A = this chain, B = another copy of it.
Amino acid sequence: MNLENYFISQFKSANIGDDGAFIDGMVYSKDAFFENIHFKTSWMSHYQIGYKSIMVNISDAVAMNATPKYALLSVAMPKDITKSQMRDLAKGFQDACAKYGVDIIGGDTISNIKLDITVTIVSKSNKPLMRKGLKRGDLIAYSGTLGKSAKELKKLMNLGKIHKNSKFVNIFLRDKFIYNNRRFLRVGMDISDGIFSDLQKLSLASGVGFRFYKKIQKRVGCSGEEYEMLFGFDRRFKKTLLRRAKLTKTPINIIAECVRKAYTNRCKSHHFNKN
């Protein structure tokens, strides 16, 4: 068990274990977005940093079939940040929030040695999509393509440049697909730590293993920060889902079926400072 999981294991709450906590019709989620852990300022503009920090958090809400409503920001800024960088950062927060109708209702700003952001998103959901509930025979799928994010990260680590529409800086969420198809889905989550790691979470939550239809390469399976959707569904909805996915132009890859046994992730932690 790595140290982070050891720490998390100290906490026991019925509400911990999904992308967010679902309580009384609300979903609460919170993620950190820290300099030199999740990004470097040489990789992204302050606008992109602000924008992405919100989007990765809205992704958790979307993945639970929740509509994001409010954001609280904690922004720790280095002392040498310029007013122009601050305006860009604020604009990034605001544009991402505006795109999803989210109101920034508060938070905290402090001086620090680097730019460290945490975002809390408050969402509403009548029928949240959780990680628990897979049954043997259910099918497992993901949306879009995987592997680009790791590739782009590698390019950045080698001092290369990436395109401004790259997935690493400009995340596209699958909100329409989830909102339109909730009733056909059994479980779901976003792919933030890499699909292997995230499959393990589904496996643990539901007590099932997976029989894969074809081998997923490690460079794909361990690519984090993809923000595609990983979901499971009753196999009798297969045709319906594939047909309906076309309405939102969502590519669907059915990769496995649920079986007895468990599943173990074989990637290292995905944050680039921890390899």
Binding site for B on A (CB under 8 A): 3-4, 6-8, 10-11, 13, 15-16, 20-21, 23, 28-32, 34, 36-37, 70, 72-77, 79, 81, 83, 86-87, 89-91, 93-94, 103-113, 116, 118, 120, 122, 269, 271, 273-274
Contact = CB atoms under 8 A, between A and B. Distances in A.
A73 B120 CA distance: 10
Nearest to A73: B30
Contact of A6 (B83, B118, B120): B83
A77 B3 contact: yes
A3 B269 CA distance: 35
Q: Which 5 A-B pairs have the closest CB atoms?
A: A10-B90, A21-B105, A15-B105, A30-B72, A120-B120
Given A28-B72, A30-B108, 4 more contacts: A7-B77, A7-B109, A30-B73, A122-B122
Contact of A76 (B23, B28, B37, B104): B37
A213 to B, nearest CB: 33
A8 B37 CA distance: 25
A225 B273 CA distance: 34
A6 B106 contact: no
A83 to B, nearest CB: 6
Contact of A74 (B6, B31, B79, B94): B31
12 contacts: A4-B77, A6-B83, A7-B89, A7-B90, A7-B109, A8-B109, A10-B91, A20-B106, A28-B120, A30-B74, A37-B111, A37-B112
Contacts of A11: 90, 93-94, 104
B75 A111 contact: no
Which of A81, A111, A269 counts the most chain B CB atoms within 10 A?
Answer: A111
Nearest to A107: B30
Nearest to A20: B106
B90 A21 contact: no
B28 A86 contact: no
Given A29-B106, A105-B21, A106-B29, A120 B72 contact: yes
Contacts of A81: 3
A118 B122 contact: no
A4 B112 CA distance: 11
A110 B4 contact: yes
Nearest to A5: B109
Nearest to A116: B116
A106 B15 contact: yes
A120 B72 CA distance: 8
